[in-house]
Amino acid sequence: EIVMTQSPATLSVSPGERATLSCRASQSVNSNLAWYQQKPGQAPRLLIYDASTRATGIPARFSGSGSGTEFTLTITSLQSEDFAVYYCQYYNSWPPWTFGQGTKVEI
């Protein structure tokens, strides 16, 4: 079973600054990686899929990179609405749909 490890657990950032979140897979997942954003009391929202493709309606300040076992989600110029928990998830191989434990981006 592939294990997804996210770091850091919490990231403290000021509005307007850049945030860099990491996700590591215990074995290669190629580019089969998605990123989700979750705010308190809400469902996860798809941000990025195929490691670097923004989902429909996602602002350009969100970008994803990486392949194999190392992935990064970058948020440039953080806005107030970006403070949330971010999860990575791999897919496309069995057992699939495993999520990381999350990174909380806080002010």
Least distance from another protein to the Cβ atom of residue 91, Å: 5
Judged by CB under 8 A, the residue of 25, 71, 82, 89 near another protein is 89
Distant-in-sequence, close-in-space partners of 94: CB < 8 Å, separation ≥ 6: none
Residue whose structure tokens are 């970058």? 74
Nearer to another protein, 2 or 76 (CB): 2
Nearer to another protein, 94 or 107 (CB): 94
Binding mask 30-69 for another protein (x = CB under 8 A): ----x-x-----xxxxx--x-----x--------------
* Residue 98 near another protein by CB under 8 A: yes
DSSP 15-84: TTS-EEEEEEESS--TT-EEEEEE-TTS--EEEEETTTEEPTT--TTEEEEEETTEEEEEESS--GGG-S
Strands 103-106 and 10-12: parallel
Nearer to another protein, 76 or 102 (CB): 102
Least distance from another protein to the Cβ atom of residue 61, Å: 20
